Chain A
Amino acid sequence: MRRLWALIRKESLQIVRDPSAILIAFILPIILLFIFGYGVNLDTNRVRVGLVLEEYTAQTNALAATLRGSKFLAVTQGHDRREMQAALTSGALRGFLVVPKGFTAQTAAGGSAAIQVIADGSEPNIASFVQNYAKAVTALWLAQQTMGGNDATPQTGAGNLHQLLAQPPNSTATIQAKSRFWYNPELKSRNFLLPGSIAIVMTLIGTLLTALVVAREWERGTMEALMATPVTITQLLLGKLIPYFFLALSSMAVCFLAAVFWYDVPFRGSFLALLAVTSVFLLAALGQGLLISSLAKDQFLAAQVALISAFLPAFMLSGFIFEISAMPTPIRTLTFAFAARYFVSALQTLFLVGNVWPLLLSCMGAMGGIALVFFLITARKSVKRLDA
C-alpha cells in the first residue's frame, strides 16, 4: 500500500509539473469541443435554393413570397433553369424550385399543378432537407391559399423546422401527420453532437495520455529503475491508472461545464449517473492506453497506435455523428467493440433524456466488459521484464 501510494504521489507530482499533461487534459478538450461545437452542425438552416417562376401571376408571386419569407431557405430568384443548373453544378445552390408555365391555370382547374423541386444529390443529406423544406413550405402556402388570404407575410419567419413539419402538411388532405420531437424539441443538433464529442475527447485523453506517459517512462529509463525495486507489476499499473483516472475525471468536469454553460446543452440526468458512466468508460479507455503502452514502448509509436485504435474509431464508429444503424452489418458489428459507442449513447441520454437506467446499465455493462478484456490482456502482457 505504501508503495502504491508512493507511485501515485510521484505520478501526481509529475502531472502537476508537466505542462504537456495539463495541455492534453484541459486545453485540448476545450479546443476540440470548440471545433466540434461550432464546426459540426447538422442544423441545415437557410439552405441556398433557387427559384424559377416560369409565369408571374398573383399566385406564383405569393408562392415566391412565402418561400422567401421562410427562415429555412435562402432563396435566389432566377430566370431560367439553365442558370439554376450551372449554380447547382458549381455548388452555389443546393437545390431549386421550378413553378412551371400553366401552374396557375392548372390549380384553378382543380388539377394538381406540379412544382418541381430539384436538389443536388451530391450532398444527399442536404438534398433530403431541401425536399422536406420545399414540401413543407409549399404546404404552408397552400394552407394560406385555402384560408383565403394572399398574405405575403407568412408566419414561417418565426419558429423552427419542427413547427413547420408539425403543421398540417396539407390542410385539404384527409390525413395530417403531426410530428413531435422528444428530448430535443428545438432539434438543435448541437444538443446531441456535444455530448458525443465529449465522448471522443475523453477517449483521446484516456487512451493517448496513458499510452504516452508509460511510453515516456520506458524512454527515460525510469521504468527500468522502478522494475529493479521490490515493487510489483500490479502496483506499477495501479500507480499509473489511479492518478490518470482522476485527471481524466477533472477534464470530464471541464467538458461538462463547457457543454452546459457555454453551449447551453441541457443536462437532465443526475451527477451520480454521469460519474458512474464516466468512471466505467474511463476504465476502458485507460485500460486501452495501458495495453498500448505495454506493447509500444516509445512515445511515437504509442501515439500513433492510440490515434488509430482509439480516436479514429471513436470519431467514425461511435454514432457521435454518423448513423450506426445505416452501416453495413460487418461494420455495425465492429462498432460494438468500441467503448466510445456506448459512452456516446449514455452521454446523449444523460444530457437530453435523464437517468434511463436500463440503457445506462447496459452501456456500463458493455464498457465494463471491454475494460475487463483490456486489463486481462495487459496483466498477461506485463511482467517485470524488459525482454518479454
Chain B
Amino acid sequence: MPFAPESFPQDTAQGLVTAAGPAPLVVVQGLCKQFPGGAAPALQGIDATVFAGRMTGLVGPDGAGKTTLLRLMVGLMHGNAGSVTVAGHNAATQAEAIHEVTGYMPQKFGLYEDLTVLENLTLYADLRHVVGKARQERFQQLLHFTDLERFQKRLAGKLSGGMKQKLGLACALLGNPRLLLLDEPSVGVDPISRRELWGMVRELLDGGMGVVWSTAYLDEAEKCDTVILLNQGVKLYDGPPKSLLQSVAGRVFQARGVQEHDRRRVLTHLLQQESVMDGVIQGRYVRVTLREGATTPPLEHGEWVAAAPCFEDAFINALGGGPGGRSRLAESMEVKPVTDQAVIKAQDLTKCFGNFVAVKDNTFRIARGEIFGLLGPNGAGKSTTFKMMCGLLQPTHGKAFVMGLDLKTATSAARSRIGYMAQKFSLYGQLNVLQNLKFFSGLYGLGGRLQKERIDLMVSIFDLHAYLGMNAGVLPLGFKQRLALACSVMHHPDVLFLDEPTSGVDPITRREFWTHINGMVEKGVTVMVTTHFMDEAEYCDRIGFIYRGENIATGSPDDLKAMARTAAMPEPTLEDAFITLVERSDAAREGAA
C-alpha cells in the first residue's frame, strides 16, 4: 500500500501562475555581499527573479543570507557586486522609488510596542501618504482582513505573537504595495496563526502582488509557488518546489514494523549502508533517502514502504547527503546505570510572572534512556518549564525532580551529572574554542590527563581542529552549536537538557546532532529537548505539546497523531495533530468560560 503523501493542498500552488502571467518584479543578477570583517561573504553571486502574483519562498537556515538578500532588495543595503532591480528601479540608486512600491516587514515585525494598533497603522499610513477617505477605507479593510478590529486600542506590545504578525503585515500593506517582502514572518508564532497568515498572504497574490516570504521552516517552503534555496550565502536551488522534490522522487522510503525499542539501532545500522544517503526516526518508523540508483537495504523486521519526499530530503540531497550514523561521542561514553524510576519528574509545575501564567500544571515523567520533547511555538512556556526542571527558576508551585533531586538545592555532585545546552548560544564569545572547552571541563571538575583526553576527543569528534584558536563568538553557527554540545557533554552526564539545540542550523548539522543524541540515548542517557520544528519532534520517544503554558497532550508522536485522526484527515501530520489539539483546548477553555 503506498503511503499517502503528507503534503499540502495542491490547488493553491498552481493556477495562479497562469492567471497573471509571469511578470518579473524583482531581478537579482550576480549579487554579492561581503560585510566588512565577516569571514565568508554573506551572499555569493546570487541570481534570482521574483514574479508578480506569485509567492516566492526564500528558504534556508540561519545565516544563509535571507535577511541580507531582502535588505538588498529594499535598498537598505548595497551589494559589492551585481545588481538588484525592483519594478524597474535599481535598488542601489533608486531606493526611494522602491520604497514607494514596496511593503517590507522586518523580523520582529517593525512595530512600536508602546503604540496602539491604530496608532501604529496611522503612523505608517502617514509615512506612506495614505490619507483622507482612502485611509479610512483601507484601515477598515485591513483591520477586517487581519481580524484586529476588536484590538484597535490595544498596545502592540500587549498583542500575542500571531496578532503582532498580522499587524506588522497590515502596516506593510498600507501603501498598496506591488511587492511585499516578509522576513521570517512565522518565527515566534503558533501554527494556527501561521496557517492564517499564510492564507491571508495567498489572497493578496490574487491582486497581482508579488510576495517574498523568507523562512527557515522547510515545510513552509513546499507550499510556495517558487523557492530560492540559500545555504551559507550560496543559492542551491531556484524554481518550483515540486521540481526540487523531483530530485529525490522514488528514493524516499519508510521502514515500518521495526521494533519500537530498536528504531535507533536500526537507523544507525541503515545509515552505515552504502545505499542510504540520509535517514531519520519518524515516530515509530524509520525514514531513509536512498542514494541515486540504489535499492533499499534488507531489514531484519518490517517492510519498506515508499514515502512522499519532503523538502528537507531534497535539501540534504542538494547538500550531498547526511553525515552517517556513527556517533563517536556516544561510543566514548559508558553505559548509564539502569533504573526503573523516572529520571525526570514534573508534578503540577506552575510558574507565574506577576499576573501572567507562563506554565500551568505541567506534569510528566521521563524514563532512563528516553528522549522527551517539549513542542510548541515560541513563548508557549517550553523554556520556562525547562528552566524549572534545571533549577534555574523556582516554580510558583509544583515540583521538579531530576534523579529524585530538586536541582535548585542539589549538591554539586548531583549537578555534575546533568548536562545543559541553553537555547541561544551561551558560551563565552570572547574566549576561543579551546579556552571554552577547558573552562567547561574545569567547571565540571575535570583535570589533568582526563581533561586533556576529553578535550582532544571533543575536538576530533566535532571537527574543531581548524577553529581551536578562533573566538567562539565568531564561529559559523553550526560550529557554535557543536561547541555548545561538546561543552555540555564533556563530563558524560546522565541527563541531558537541550533547549532548541538545532534552532537555525542547517539540516546536515541537525542530522549530526540527532545522531549523537540517538547514540547517547542508546547508552542510557536521558534527554529532554525542546523544539519548535514539528519534524524534529518526530525523533522523540514522547512529546509534550505546550500551548499557552499548558501541556495540552503528552504521548508518542504516533499517539498524538492518532488523537487527531478523523475521517477527513486519515493521516495527520504532527502539525495537524498540534493544531487539532490546540483547537480542542481553545474550545474547552471557551466552553469553561
Interface on A for B, CB 8 Å cutoff?
Answer: 2-3, 5-7, 9-10, 13-14, 17-18, 220-222, 224-231, 384-388
Contact = CB atoms under 8 A, between A and B. Distances in A.
A368 B405 CA distance: 67
A216 to B, nearest CB: 10
B200 to A, nearest CB: 19
B122 A6 contact: yes
Contacts of A2: 126, 129, 131
A6 B120 CA distance: 10
B364 interface: no
Contacts of A5: 126
Contact of B76 (A7, A14, A18, A227): A227
B120 to A, nearest CB: 9
A57 B99 CA distance: 95
B112 interface: yes
Interface in B96-119: 96, 99-100, 102, 104-115, 119
Contacts of B106: 221, 224-225, 228
A384, A385, A387 — most chain B CB neighbours (10 Å): A387
Nearest to A10: B123
A13 B76 CA distance: 27
B71 A386 contact: yes
Nearest to B115: A13
B127 interface: yes
Contacts of B8: none
Given A229-B99, A386-B77, A13 B127 contact: no
Nearest to B108: A221
B578 to A, nearest CB: 28
Given A13-B115, A17-B114, A385 B100 contact: no
B124 interface: yes
A224 B175 CA distance: 17
A13, A224, A229 — most chain B CB neighbours (10 Å): A229
Contact of B108 (A10, A220, A384): A220
B104 A225 contact: yes
A230 B131 contact: no
A388 B75 CA distance: 12
B114 A230 contact: no
A13 B99 CA distance: 25
B78 A230 contact: no
A228 B78 contact: no
B127 to A, nearest CB: 4
B128 interface: yes
Contacts of B113: 220
Given A14-B112, A221-B106, A225-B110, A387 B119 contact: no
B66 to A, nearest CB: 14
B48 to A, nearest CB: 19
Contacts of A385: 75-78
Contacts of B109: 221, 225
B470 to A, nearest CB: 23
Given A3-B127, A221-B107, A228 B74 contact: yes
Given A221-B109, A384-B95, 8 more contacts: A6-B126, A9-B123, A10-B112, A14-B114, A220-B108, A225-B104, A228-B104, A230-B175
23 contacts: A2-B126, A2-B129, A5-B126, A6-B126, A10-B115, A10-B123, A221-B106, A221-B107, A221-B110, A225-B106, A225-B111, A225-B124, A228-B76, A228-B99, A229-B99, A229-B175, A230-B127, A230-B128, A230-B175, A231-B127, A385-B75, A385-B76, A385-B77
